[in-house]
Structure formats: C-alpha cells, structure tokens
C-alpha cells in the first residue's frame, strides 16, 4: 500500500478505552491511571506495524480526526 510521508498521519486517535497498567502518556510523560479513561491510538513507525499508544483524553485531542487546522 502506498503511503505518503506526511506528519499529519503520524498519530491517530482511535477510541476511548482504559490503559493497561503502567502505561505512560507520550504527550505529557505522565503515567495513566489504571481506571482513568484514555484514548487509544497508533503511531506510524518507519519499520514494522504501527505502535499502540495510550494518551490522556486531553492530550489526545489534537489527534482527533475532526480537529480543524
């Protein structure tokens, strides 16, 4: 599948969930609580499948597909 090298697709917000224990939000470097709602997303990697990341709901806002530019 052809893929453009655009930063716009670097991080995607997928759905709200709970993070596994010990997950750290990559946006603010703060740990996500076990019962704290967060957003699951994926980060495109240069090699291999996309990496799964968990972000606080607030931190994930800019990754939402509906965000305006």
Give the residues lining the site for Zn ion (CB under 5 A). 25, 27-28, 56, 59
Identify which of 69, 21, 16, 63 has the alpha carbon closest to the alpha carbon of residue 44.
Answer: 63
Nearer to Zn ion, 45 or 62 (CB): 62
Nearer to Zn ion, 10 or 28 (CB): 28
Please report where in the chains the tokens 């499948």 appear, as a residue: 49
User: Which H or E element spans position 54?
Assistant: strand 51-56
Nearer to Zn ion, 48 or 51 (CB): 51
- From the CB of 57, what's the least distance to Zn ion, in Å? 9
């Amino acid at each position: 599948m052809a893929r453009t090298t655009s930063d716009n697709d670097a991080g995607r917000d997928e759905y709200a969930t709970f993070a596994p224990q010990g997950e750290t939000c990559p946006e603010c470097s703060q740990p996500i609580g076990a019962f704290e709602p967060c957003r699951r997303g994926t980060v495109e990697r240069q090699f291999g499948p996309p990496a799964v990341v968990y972000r606080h709901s607030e931190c994930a806002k800019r990754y939402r597909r509906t965000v305006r530019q």
